Chains A and B, each alone.
Chain A
């Protein structure tokens, strides 16, 4: 386990790269889903307002 974390003394460079990649991959999915949910909510509100009027 220590060998994997140490990465031949390059662990301080290798792991931050993978962590950053994980953050970017996760952020893209979360941001896209939130964007879609927000757009859907807004469309639903407009449809409800149109139906009410």
Chain B
């Protein structure tokens, strides 16, 4: 099998150019899916028989919670690739992912707190799901702070990568916390093998939002990755030619 295309992906000039071409392919479908999901979730889906219209918060809470973990997993895999194979582009992907993941972790926590007030009677409880999600936010902050605190880029990449990889242990804790401990938080709405705990007319807008948010992350990651490549390759000869275009 010819692996040239794979090795080319790790080349900064190639990645810089291909990222520019890919952004619209992620951004436009993401926008369309989010708009359709919002219409389905806010207008077409019926009110929940227990939670009433408050359940509609799920259409922003669940996708942001999903992204908070998906982005971390992506960041950790990229960091591990950077550590093991010393691919600089992988460190750039990890660096570009961290602020996006942190913002969606914050959004998951904030929308969860706002949803918790009418449903649980409190903004916050120190239960396993909420606490482990808060730890995820601290992990993102730690990775970003560590990277920013070291001047030498290679050392900063390695240190941030080690922290990102170690922090992966928190992901299964977040996911299984609702099963391992007694918690106010409901179990997962969507499971890999089980039937969804949601009716079809409530479910499809959620699936659109989940896919839309994921593609949106792809678009933002590619823009941030281009910025990271520019910063890291600022003295490279190819960049002068590229910017002159």
Q: Verify B103–A17 contact, CB threshold 8 A.
A: no
- A38 and B243 alpha carbons, distance in the complex (Å): 13
Given A8-B53, A32-B223, A35-B227, are A24 and B243 also a contact pair (CB < 8 Å)?
A: no
Question: How many interface residues does chain A have, given as a range?
Answer: 20 to 34
Closest Cβ neighbor of B235 among chain A residues:
A46
B99-157 with Cβ < 8 A to chain A? 99-100, 103-104, 106-107, 110-111, 114-115, 117-118
- A5 and B42 alpha carbons, distance in the complex (Å): 10
Map CB proximity to B onto A7-51 as digits: 1 under 8 Å, 0 otherwise.
Answer: 111110110111011001101110111011011101110110011
B198-245 with Cβ < 8 A to chain A? 216, 219-220, 223-224, 226-228, 230-231, 234-235, 239-240, 243-244
In the complex, B64 has a CB within 8 A of chain A: yes
Given A10-B52, A47-B239, are A39 and B230 also a contact pair (CB < 8 Å)?
A: yes
Q: Separation in Å of the B242 CB from the closest CB of chain A?
A: 9
In the complex, A4 has a CB within 8 A of chain B: yes
Given A31-B99, A33-B223, A47-B239, are A20 and B230 also a contact pair (CB < 8 Å)?
A: no
Q: Verify A43–B53 contact, CB threshold 8 A.
A: no
Given A46-B234, A46-B235, are A17 and B57 also a contact pair (CB < 8 Å)?
A: yes
Q: Verify A13–B57 contact, CB threshold 8 A.
A: yes
Given A7-B54, A8-B53, A40-B243, are A20 and B103 also a contact pair (CB < 8 Å)?
A: no
Cβ-defined partner of A24 (8 Å) among B47, B107, B227, B235: B107
Q: Verify A13–B114 contact, CB threshold 8 A.
A: yes
The majority secondary structure among interface residues of chain B is helix
Q: Separation in Å of the B112 CB from the closest CB of chain A?
A: 9
Given A20-B110, A21-B64, A28-B100, are A14 and B230 also a contact pair (CB < 8 Å)?
A: no
Which residues of B sit under 8 angstroms from A18, Cβ to Cβ?
Answer: 38, 42, 60
A-B contact count (CB 8 A): 102
Which residues of A sit under 8 angstroms from B239, Cβ to Cβ?
Answer: 43, 47
Which residues of A sit under 8 angstroms from B227, Cβ to Cβ?
Answer: 32, 35-36, 38-40
- A53 and B221 alpha carbons, distance in the complex (Å): 35
- A20 and B112 alpha carbons, distance in the complex (Å): 12
Closest Cβ neighbor of B118 among chain A residues:
A13
Q: Verify B53–A7 contact, CB threshold 8 A.
A: yes
Identify which of A13, A33, A42, A46 gathers the most chain B CB atoms within 10 Å of its CB. Answer: A13
- A15 and B1 alpha carbons, distance in the complex (Å): 52
Closest Cβ neighbor of B51 among chain A residues:
A10
- A34 and B223 alpha carbons, distance in the complex (Å): 10
Contacts A/B (CB < 8 Å), 14 sampled: A4-B43, A7-B54, A8-B52, A10-B53, A17-B110, A20-B60, A24-B103, A28-B216, A29-B220, A38-B227, A39-B227, A40-B227, A43-B239, A47-B239
